[in-house]
Amino acid sequence: MKRILATSILSLALATAAYAEPVKIGVITTLSGGGAGLGIDMRDAFTLAIKQSGNKDIELVIEDDAQKPEIAVQLAEKMIQSDKVDLLTGIIWSNLAMAVVPNTVAQDIVYLSPNAGPSALAGANCNANYFNVAYQNDNFHEAMGQYANKDYKKTFILAPNYPAGKDALTGFKRFYKGELAGEVYTQVGQTDYAAEIAQIRDSGADSVFFFLPGGMGISFMKQYAQSGVSTPVMGPGFSFDQDVLGAIGDAALGVKNSATWSKDLDNDANKKFVEAFKTEYKRLPSIYAAQSWDAANLILAALSKASVKDKDAFKTALKSADFKSVRGKFVFNNNNHPIQNVYVREVVKEDGVLTNKIIATAFEDHKDAYADKCKM
């Protein structure tokens, strides 16, 4: 009994020591410009999770990438070479992730994505230092392609011309069985969609699927509502999430969208997260906030098991994903991307506030299409 007790005390001491060591985390995210709302939600949820953990040994180095790849690359190098961060996280946009992640992991720095999940990092180019705590880019769009088969036969699809936009339409087409009335790639940051809306009007489409995150989606939906075109729209949760619904207004009511998270998911971790975020920031959280909260809590859980200086042990602890996710069940696939449910939500109004509620489950325990190409 004494031996068992001594072993238990030693194990607790080792775990506490691993948790208590100084850890520096670099957070590169978008805090200015049209995509700032996404990065602000990421930063706010991540910092709140660290604050609530009570861990005083974690230092966050937070910088604004201004949604520009060249700035993100410079910040990453500064954080790795000068700030000597142990981990990197925070990037929202896939073109920025593609500019930063390959060089970061090549320097044996662990990167945890709270959002961007480009296909190029999920398959043959997967890496043991890269963990995606959000999804693979195609996933939300695959779910809407699957759901669209219920009601639609001829869909017009559009997305921005960058890696996540291409993954979006690829994902939708992978599961959609109907005809395409049109397929258009817009400019990143575009604000005028008159030409695209005219194409939709003339296309004979019975539905529209679009992926336009942040300010792009706000502009499109406002112009679409004013155009008089009545063709129903649908999209991934990014285009109809809490960060943009207030700006879109009632034009979003009734729109179906897909996500791996919603504030009405019935589990204790999610209820605590939503309440904590509302209390701290006086607003409802978005998908970006939920994913960042999970990323922070995954890191905290791994730090309680292993030293961040012991790379192999720390990555093993990350891979085990032994934390309470706001999404409920959370498991990493072989390529360090989640295996998870994807839901269909509907935009509703609750107490005068636009938000989403789950109406269906599109996929259960969904795996991305690229994992079988990953040799890890």
Let me know if the fold of 2-135+265-336 is the same as that of 138-259+342-367. yes
Q: Which CATH number fits domain 138-259+342-367: 3.30.1540.20, 3.40.50.2300, 3.40.1160.10, 3.90.79.10?
A: 3.40.50.2300
Given this model, what pLDDT does residue 192 score? 97
For the chain, which ranges sit under pLDDT 70? 1-20
pTM over 0.85: yes
Where in the chain are the domains? 2-135+265-336, 138-259+342-367
Given this model, what pLDDT does residue 1 score? 42
266, 373 in Cβ contact below 8 A? no
Given this model, what pLDDT does residue 55 score? 93
d(CA 246, CA 34): 15
Q: Centre a 10 Å sphere on the Cβ of residue 227 and count the other Cβ atoms it contains.
A: 14
Q: Give the pLDDT confidence of 21-71 residue by residue, as tens digits.
A: 899 999 999 999 988 999 999 999 999 999 999 999 999 999 999 999 999
Which residue, chain included where needed, has tokens 């989606």?
217
d(CA 15, CA 22): 14
Given this model, what pLDDT does residue 307 score? 96
Which residue, chain included where needed, has tokens 């994807």?
342
> Which phi and psi angles does 39 have, rounded to 5°?
-70, -35
133, 298 in Cβ contact below 8 A? yes
Q: Centre a 10 Å sphere on the Cβ of residue 146 and count the other Cβ atoms it contains.
A: 21
Please name which of 262, 245, 233 lies closest in space to residue 345, comparing C-alpha atoms: 262
Given this model, what pLDDT does residue 209 score? 98
Given this model, what pLDDT does residue 5 score? 43
Q: Centre a 10 Å sphere on the Cβ of residue 249 and count the other Cβ atoms it contains.
A: 13
CATH 3.40.50.2300 fits 2-135+265-336, yes or no: yes
d(CA 359, CA 346): 7
Q: Give the pLDDT confidence of 123-149 residue by residue, as tens digits.
A: 999 999 999 999 999 999 999 999 999
